[in-house]
Structure 1
Amino acid sequence: MNNRPFSSVDEMDRVLIDNWNSVVQPDYEVYIIGDFMFRSRQTPLYYLDQLRGRKHLVLGNHERWTDQVNLPDYFESVSQIKEITDMDHHLVLCHYPLAEWPRYFRGSMHIFGHIHNTRTSPAFQFYLTQPNMLNAGVDINHFIPVTLPQLIGNNRAFRQLEDEW
């Protein structure tokens, strides 16, 4: 479980669902940056039927479950990469950390997942040097959905801890 603070996958699932529903209201827009579920004993509907919000899925490498669900019934959008604006910030959402992108993305923030907090990954080391890259992994974000300001703050705090580590 990637050194997560749970005694079992069932406990992790319960905590993640409870955390999600403690902050997400039915009309909130929620962007899932890939790896929604992996090796679960539960069906995708077990999770999707419990989670509030208007969900958008940015596909990751563990989305093998998507053929089991009529995606438009549960997601407002499904994409490999998505551009949105939030709080006047241009955001590029992609499950994978991007090292290069088109000129018109410059000044944008790149929100990604995939690497979790795997410190030995070259992509992780690159992320630490890029202030406009924001890791959306649950490990960095205290296992709870976050707003853009919270995501920025959590990544700043995480980078500071890494500098001290």
Structure 2
Amino acid sequence: MIYFISDTHFADPRVLRIDRRRFPDMVDHDAALIRNWNAIVDEGDEVWHLGDFMSARGGDCDQLLSRLNGRKHLVIGNNDPVTTATAAGWASVQHYAEILLDGRLLVLCHYPFRTWNKMGKKSINLHGHSHGRLKPMPRQFDVGVDARGLRPVSLQTLLTSSRQSRSDDGGDSAPIVR
């Protein structure tokens, strides 16, 4: 299985204030994110982390990566320090990626796009950065933890939630991120 996640911001206390994540401190925050990740992701799964993984003050990135299940890829975000991007625990590191999954082209970047490659041919843009605050376009999904219940998400879950949102509102608009 392949999962997507973004904006974990491990060891970055700003998220408790700015994003109003309801944890008393970063120890509880980080433990909950690790628990949520490992409850969904098995060792044989792949995870694409779309940026803003951890703070430079968070310590050893490889040590944190070793606590998280799956084979992990990083798409670099604006808050990923060199120590995160150069950690040996990543299977790959890049600023942008395109992958084919279940016959669909996925365009992966930390930042949401207004347009993206093969958009007119039903490709899908997965991103982070906006912390659930940006109204998505059709076939565009914020996979950041603030938009996805603090856990990784599969493409199937994203597509299913999109279909449910369209049937709930009676139209073909993109899903409303709650």
| TM-score of the superposed pair, with normalisation by structure 2 | 0.75
Counterpart mapping for 1:1-20 below 5 A: 1=16, 2-20=19-37
Which residue identity is paired with 2:129? H
- Extract unaligned runs of 5+ from structure 1: 119-123
Q: More helix by proportion, 1 or 2? A: 1
Number of matched pairs: 151
2:54·2:84 contact (CA, 8 Å) conserved in 1?
no
From 131, 136, 140, the counterpart of 2:143: 136
Describe the superposition over 1:77-125 as per-residue Cα deviations: whole angstroms up to 9, x where unpaired: 11111001112111000000111234x343100000001123xxxxx24
Q: Flag the 1:153–1:139 CA change in 2: closer, same or farther, 3 A.
A: farther
From 80, 99, 115, the counterpart of 1:63: 80
Q: Identity rate of aligned residues, in percent? A: 32
Q: Flag the 1:161–1:47 CA change in 2: closer, same or farther, 3 A.
A: closer
Higher RCO (C-alpha under 8 Å, 6+ residues apart): 2
CA distance in 2, matches of 1:69, 1:131: 30
Q: Flag the 1:70–1:100 CA change in 2: closer, same or farther, 3 A.
A: closer
Q: Flag the 1:148–1:5 CA change in 2: closer, same or farther, 3 A.
A: same
Describe the superposition over 1:31-89 as per-residue Cα deviations: whole angstroms up to 9, x where unpaired: 0000011364433133112011111100100111x336753x31121111100111211
Q: Flag the 1:89–1:153 CA change in 2: closer, same or farther, 3 A.
A: same
Alignment partner, residue 44 of structure 1: 61
Indicate yes or no: 2:156 matched with 1:149: yes
Q: Flag the 1:137–1:69 CA change in 2: closer, same or farther, 3 A.
A: closer
- Extract unaligned runs of 5+ from structure 2: 1-15, 166-173
Q: Secondary structure at the match of 2:91?
A: strand
2:126·2:142 contact (CA, 8 Å) conserved in 1?
yes
CA distance in 2, matches of 1:41, 1:95: 20
